[in-house]
Amino acid sequence: MDNNNLVKMANNIGQFFKSEPDHELAIQGVQQHIRNFWEPRMRKQIIEYTQHGDQELMDIVAEAVKRIAEQS
């Protein structure tokens, strides 16, 4: 899958959870959504993308992906 599409999808998830007033819960929501609904290849690709810079990802998405990478 194209990185631009992954970033767009990830940021759409982030946009949904952005309304959560608790920043930590928002990150956890993004993290859980990616774990539950993205196939392993997509998760691997977004992790690799963030290792080369994640300027296009929302903050809560970048943090969620970082945590997924650390737990993998």
Give the integer Cα–Cα distance in Å for 7 and 16: 14
Q: What is the pLDDT of residues 5-36, one digit of tens each?
A: 999 999 999 999 999 999 999 999 999 999 99
Could you tell me how many residues make up the chain? 72
Task: State the total domains in the chain.
Answer: 1
Structural domain of residue 62, as residue ranges?
3-71
Say whether pTM exceeds 0.85: yes
Q: What is the pLDDT of residues 28-71, one digit of tens each?
A: 999 999 999 999 999 999 999 998 876 899 999 999 999 999 99
Cα maximum dimension of the chain: 32
Amino acid at 60: I
